[in-house]
Structure 1
């Protein structure tokens, strides 16, 4: 006898199932019907939780933001600049847990409760550090854009590494046409993410940690 649907399904269960499909088959495979089948629900039952694929994708983004430790980033005993680094690194790590999930950000505005709380924490920190609200708003937007841009680069490099591992070795190679890029790749040194964020904060006028 075919098993019936689960008696108790939460929105978190649905989002988890959507991420399973996303990571197995890619974003195009995530659908109301596909997630319903994974959970033993009917598509009609799914619509009582999410009215569209777009709503489901936005909930997936919310789950990523929900894992950021905002309480630790609000600790006034730690310099604000250090807390920005922690917030940014934490959000980057959350997206890294779901490779490729950065594409979900395009599903709609970042206006869910957890995404807004992330932005609110940035605003509170910048204003408490002495910035007028208008400047703090621009600074928070710049930090968020920097992190999401870095996550996009992370995802593209992960995909490139995977493709390179499966590709046959070339028979021959040309002399590089991008010598500065090649030289920069060989420099090593500071973590590019932290270094870039530090330079951004310098430009925003956030005092360096003593």
Structure 2
């Protein structure tokens, strides 16, 4: 029997295989050996491109961040705050398409070329909003922590191997849990159960984003 065609190997192919495995099995089941099997090579072939699994995961994070178009940042015909909203919503949609990989976001540095390009455009937008370069840098970090932290917490409630259910279904399921909280022991929690159940909603995500932006731009001109 003739051997099958030799599969091409590249950084992109390896990252794509890792992303596929994260979606099928989750992070705990992914290894250099499983990635190698997915791309049809011996495990030691991967080390030509990545020194270890951590480096692969960093590249996965960079690809996920890079799926967000940077064109939104530069359209000065759109108010800067609306552009932040569009970027934030686009990032959330793309990352929640890969909940298994999104859980890695808070554990891997964002220092790849796509992440750096994203950060640079965000700095441009914040200086356009009136912040000094130093304040824009601090504000950029604060925004990224809020956005990625919110998305990662939302992804943590999803099955990484299954498509995410509609938002309304997920909120309704969370509400069942809050309805079981004894009101006599936790009266404030019980009284705001509908709000807490919707922590994973788009409304909550944008509510928090606007409060962060209000605080950041309120410091404009002050050291």
Q: TM-score, with normalisation over the residues of structure 1?
A: 0.83
Matching residue of 1:198:
210
Matching residue of 2:192:
184
Contact between 1:5 and 1:40, CA under 8 Å: does it hold in 2? no
Is 1:175 the equivalent of 2:182? yes
SS in 1 for 2:192: helix
SS in 2 for 1:157: coil
CA distance in 2, matches of 1:94, 1:149: 15
CA distance in 2, matches of 1:197, 1:38: 39
Following TM superposition, by how much is the alpha carbon of 1:5 offset from its aligned partner in structure 2, in angstroms? 6.6
Contact between 2:181 and 2:190, CA under 8 Å: does it hold in 1? no
Gaps of 5+ in 2: 171-175, 219-223
Matching residue of 1:44:
44
Q: Please tell me the root mean square deviation across aligned C-alpha atoms, in Å.
A: 2.8
CA distance in 2, matches of 1:72, 1:122: 10
Gaps of 5+ in 1: none
CA distance in 2, matches of 1:102, 1:190: 17
CA distance in 2, matches of 1:112, 1:152: 19
Q: How many residues align?
A: 199
Matching residue of 1:157:
157
CA distance in 1, matches of 2:194, 2:153: 18
Structure-2 change in CA distance of 1:190 and 1:17 (3 Å): closer
**Residue-by-residue CA offset, 1:14-60 (whole Å, 9 max, x unaligned):** 21211221122211222111111111101121112212101100110
Following TM superposition, by how much is the alpha carbon of 1:101 offset from its aligned partner in structure 2, in angstroms? 2.0
Following TM superposition, by how much is the alpha carbon of 1:154 offset from its aligned partner in structure 2, in angstroms? 0.8
SS in 2 for 1:78: coil
1:1-210 matches, cutoff 5 A: 1=1, 3-4=3-4, 6-158=6-158, 175-176=182-183, 177-187=185-195, 191-205=203-217
Contact between 2:26 and 2:101, CA under 8 Å: does it hold in 1? no
Contact between 1:54 and 1:107, CA under 8 Å: does it hold in 2? no
CA distance in 2, matches of 1:200, 1:11: 37
Following TM superposition, by how much is the alpha carbon of 1:157 offset from its aligned partner in structure 2, in angstroms? 3.2
Contact between 2:58 and 2:108, CA under 8 Å: does it hold in 1? yes
